[in-house]
Amino acid sequence: MIDFVHPALLFILGAVPIPFLKGSVRKAYLVLVPALAIVAVLAMEPGNYGAGRFIGQEILLAKVDKLSIVFATVFSVMALIGMVYALHLTRAGQHVAAFVYVGSALGVVFAGDYLTLYLFWESMAFASAYLVFAQGGKRAIGAAFRYLMVHITGGVALLGGIVLHGLAASSLLFGPIAGAMDTGAYLILVGFLLNAAVPPLNAWLTDAYPEATVTGAVFMSAFTTKTAVYVLARAFPGMELLVWLGAAMALYGVIYAVLENDCRRLLAYHIVSQVGYMVAGIGIGTEMAVNGATSHAFAHILYKALLFMGAGAVIEVTGRRKLTELGGLYKAMPLTVALYMVGAFAISAFPFFSGFVTKSMVIAAAGQDHRALVVLALTMASSGTFLHTGLKLPYYMFFGPDRKLEAREPPRNMLVAMGIAAVLCIAIGVFPGPLYALLPYPVVFEPYTGAHVAESLGLLMFTALGFVLFLRALDPENTISIDTDWFYRKGARAFLWLAEKPLARYEKAVSNVSDTVALPLLHGTAHAGLRADLNGVDAAVNGLARAILVGGGALRRLQTGVVTHYALAMIAGVIAAIAVFTVVWQ
């Protein structure tokens, strides 16, 4: 009996046969692998697996403890739901990317050292970017490129942090970062915060997720930010900065959601808001707060996927995504409405839905820790959550002005996937026991007290009253909102303008001067430079230049060729690299 099967391997190696399978065999296979992963996670025992040495460093492929098991459980359940939702797709590309994406997320969750973590971290970025590329069209490809660029930048920060931290701590084992925060620790933190979409590093999420394919966005909503929550909980519990970032982020997402017209972008802003609760919980750092953050991540993955599946179903059958163009669909798709609403009640933390037993744990932990402002901010964000995902979005998407759209219920596999998620959202809300038992610390929290139920209902239903009274003020408008992606979207343009206009002119002027005046001077300096150059700078520069040349070449091909093919090739490369890595060092 093997006591540990790495679920990441199941997915990543399991992705290889997908393109060669056809029809119902492929469908069965796509469901079987996540099912096996669930079994593997449920069967695993805490401990260290796959220890070894690599380039003189200690490597620990899998460190299994309660915290990693909670995340792995919900990741593999989510993989099953997401695969069922995507079963109707005929092309293999997205399935392969989703498998690699899920596998890499699981790889991060079990990573016992920073090198393993980094490897899976990057492969997650590439695999998930494919899910945006696969949508095709100018907007999606633009968004996917920005997504990739931002994540690569975050990855570089993370790698730099890992190197510095590794040198300072003389160990690459992944665990709580002890002692004073140095540059390395801050760089690691920045890398993690970027993936957790903490403002101002949040714009990649709300930029790319709504442009992804219908089924791809469901996967994306679940894995990237929650892996980041996991690594934050592992490395930075009890960090004061995170409390305030989390509370601010919970409100940030809610404020932007008011302005949003694109249904999935509105939901994406609510990921930012909900992850804020988790980040705040980790920052508070008490046992109850970390429990709250972990359980909220668990519940969040399921209800957020359900919401994305509901919005995706609407996009799938109507082809429209803007609230100004949707409305009156409830007649044609009542089941979708009902299932979506289960997710909406769960995210809003209605009693007997999952959010109620998890979100309130974070808020209660903030209360116990005597943080009145955090309690008030998070409670206000709860009101905003119901206002948008529970009232505004369903009203303008399903009810509201009838746009006479042709619609029907989505394919059955989509409904089944939504059904599974909905059942879990309710089951967790009604029987929180099993989830509480999974959490890293013993739970001393009783969500179902009279005061708590009455309080929550008061908050939510009077939010509804505000919605009813000020409905007109909430009418969606045909606009987009400026977020921090403005800096690189407009900034890149300014840079190009700078390169084309003033710099070109400057260069001309300089070359005129240099011909007559500066040339002799430069010759002299060049000779001196040459000597310094030959004595050592050369090797380093050559290496760097070659790396840039290779990278630039790859990028140029990406820009001109069929992008999806190249992205697929990259993913294949990542699979191969990981396969080699795991086989050799297991």
* Phi, psi values for residue 388, rounded to 5°: -90, -55
Q: How far is the CB of 453 from another protein (least distance, A)?
A: 8
Query: Which residue, 330, 338, 343, is CA-closest to 304?
Result: 343
Whether 111 contacts 174, CB under 8 Å: yes
Return all residues near 130 (Cβ < 8 A) that are at least 6 apart.
Answer: 93, 94, 97, 564, 567, 568, 570, 571
Please tell me whether the peptide bond between 200 and the residue prior to it is cis, using omega within 30 degrees of 0.
Answer: yes
Relative orientation angle of helices 7-14 and 23-43, to the nearest 10 degrees: 170
Q: Is 454 in the site for another protein (CB under 8 A)?
A: yes
Q: Is 460 in the site for another protein (CB under 8 A)?
A: yes
Q: Which stretch binds another protein (CB under 8 A): 95-103, 182-190, 372-380, 523-531?
A: 372-380
Residue corresponding to tokens 């996917």: 144
Q: How far is the CB of 288 from another protein (least distance, A)?
A: 13
Whether 78 contacts 305, CB under 8 Å: yes
Q: Which stretch binds another protein (CB under 8 A): 302-310, 466-474, 505-513, 560-568?
A: 466-474
Cα–Cα distance between 14 and 38 in angstroms, integer? 14
Q: How far is the CB of 382 from another protein (least distance, A)?
A: 8
Whether 288 contacts 364, CB under 8 Å: yes
Nearer of residues 458 and 553 to another protein, judged by Cβ: 458
Q: Which of 259, 405, 416, 426 binds another protein (CB under 8 A)?
A: 259
Whether 4 contacts 61, CB under 8 Å: no
Q: How far is the CB of 526 from another protein (least distance, A)?
A: 43
Nearer of residues 223 and 277 to another protein, judged by Cβ: 277
Nearer of residues 30 and 425 to another protein, judged by Cβ: 425
Whether 227 contacts 105, CB under 8 Å: yes
Partners of 63 in the β-ladder: 48
DSSP string, 355-382: HHHHHHHHHHHHHHTT-HHHHHHHHHHH
Site string for another protein, 377-416 (x = CB under 8 A): --xx--xx--x----------xx-----------------
Q: Is 254 in the site for another protein (CB under 8 A)?
A: yes
Q: Which stretch binds another protein (CB under 8 A): 12-20, 180-188, 236-244, 330-338?
A: 330-338
In our burial notation (b when 16+ CB lie closer than 10 A, e otherwise), range 390-404 reads bbbbbbbbbebeeee
Nearer of residues 50 and 142 to another protein, judged by Cβ: 142
Q: Which of 16, 190, 241, 474 binds another protein (CB under 8 A)?
A: 474
Nearer of residues 124 and 251 to another protein, judged by Cβ: 251
Q: Which stretch binds another protein (CB under 8 A): 10-18, 328-336, 502-510, 518-526?
A: 328-336
Q: Which stretch binds another protein (CB under 8 A): 115-123, 158-166, 218-226, 460-468?
A: 460-468
In our burial notation (b when 16+ CB lie closer than 10 A, e otherwise), range 61-91 reads bbbbeebbbbbbbbbbbbbbbbbbbbbebee
Determine the size of the site formed for another protein (CB under 8 A). 52
Cα–Cα distance between 543 and 498 in angstroms, integer? 28
Q: Which of 36, 173, 248, 338 binds another protein (CB under 8 A)?
A: 338
Considering only residues 9-28, where is the footprint of another protein by CB under 8 A? none
Binding residues vs another protein (CB under 8 A): 254-256, 258-259, 330-331, 334-335, 337-338, 367-368, 372, 375-376, 379-380, 383-384, 387, 398-399, 450-451, 453-468, 470, 473-474, 477-482, 489-490
